[in-house]
Amino acid sequence: MTHTTHDRRRGWLKAAGAAMLAGAGSLGALSATPAFAQAEWPAKPVRIVVPFAPGGTTDISARLVAEQLSGVFKQSFIVENKAGAGGNVAATEVANANPDGYTFLMGTPGTQAINQFLYSKMPYDTAKDLVPVSFVIRVPNVLMINPGVKARSIEELIALAKSKPGQMSYGSPGNGSTGQLSTELFKTRAGIFATHIPYRGSNPMLADLMAGQIEMSIDNLPSAMPLIKSGKVIALGVTSEKPSPQLPNVPPIASVLPGYSAESWFVVVAPKNTPAPIINRMSSEIDKILKKPEIIERIKQIGGEPVGGTPEDLGKFIAAETAKWKKVVAESGAKID
């Protein structure tokens, strides 16, 4: 082969390569960038922001995931608690964060579905500003009372509340939490009234429930399980359609109020425009973590169910839950301004 022919062939190959990239349009440019990002990421600590105070199920879920991801990536995954406005403070911070794969949110039904129907003004667009990464855990909620309350069944609690109209109070981990909405739905179905006292997380609310400052609450089972086991609070019902394996003798609220159902869930979401390869890598690693027998056992011990799956799976789930909770908010008449 002559030198001229060799140069001509090399030139042709360059032209063909350029034409292929041009033909692929922006796809070619995009495919190069995420590959680089994926290879380099994470090069520094990653934040997982939790929208409630330490100690609740959202926090427990985030710390479990962070601990495991730190081991997988050999890089720190740090949990930061930013309570306030039913999760809106944390969700807004993440929605406005640089979409570089170093900030994620442990999303809840409040941040991903409920709040948009409770608040007249939202600081972020629920459907657009936060994108699905991974479904982590789903849990039933549990109806609890202070041991001093003169009721030992769902029926007795309803009768007691009816005999003391407007005198009972209930606590929730915060405005917009499933604890609030589950209780509002319970009140509507049971035809009772109790004053809502919102807290900045499960721990302070449960402390007041133990102390008798509030009489009843519906909260996530993992947060409440230690207090139920120790007898410091009494569980009357679970919000799932079937009994929880962790509380086999506690009936579903639906056994007294047919059709009642209000479970909680915890998911990892990211700011929009976070590179797809980073989202897919995070999702894949979390899915693997949630399939480990020891992790499954840890989650079951606190009353949860590991889920996992793809970002697409989570997107469909959140859409369905959004439709469900929209109806619950409308039925309960709950509003926050």
pLDDT in tens, 223-266: 899 999 999 999 999 999 889 988 999 999 999 999 898 889 99
Q: What is the pLDDT of residue 337?
A: 64
* Together in a domain, 246 and 287: no
CATH number at residue 71: 3.40.190.150
Among 210, 226, 255, residue at a domain's last position: 255
Structurally, how many domains does the chain consist of?
Answer: 2
- What is d(CA 25, CA 19) in angstroms, rounded to the nearest whole number? 10
**Residue 2 domain-assigned (yes or no):** no
Structural domain containing residue 269: 44-138+263-332
Give the CA radius of gyration of the chain: 24
Mean pLDDT estimate for the chain? 88
User: Structure pTM?
Assistant: 0.79
Residue 31 lies in a domain: no
CATH assignment of the domain containing 154: 3.40.190.10
User: Of 225, 255, 285, which one is at a domain's C-terminal end?
Assistant: 255
pLDDT digits (tens, 9 = 90+) for 295-337: 999 999 888 999 999 999 999 999 999 998 998 888 877 888 6
Identify the pLDDT of residue 13. 39
Percent of the chain with pLDDT over 90: 73
Average pLDDT over residues 264-271: 96
Q: Express each pLDDT in 181-208 by its tens digit.
A: 999 999 999 999 999 999 988 999 999 9
Which residue in 63, 103, 60 sits closest to 79, CA to CA? 63
Q: Is 298 among the domain residues?
A: yes
On whether both 235 and 167 belong to a single domain, the answer is: yes
Region class of 216: left (phi > 0), else alpha (psi between -120 and 50), else beta = beta
Residues 129, 106: one domain? yes
The answer to whether residue 318 is domain-embedded is yes
- Residue 27 falls inside a structural domain: no
Is 327 within a domain? yes
- Please check whether residue 150 lies inside any domain of the structure: yes
How many CA atoms does the CB half-sphere of 163 hold within 13 Å? 8
Q: What is the pLDDT of residue 141?
A: 94
Position 39 scores a pLDDT of 61
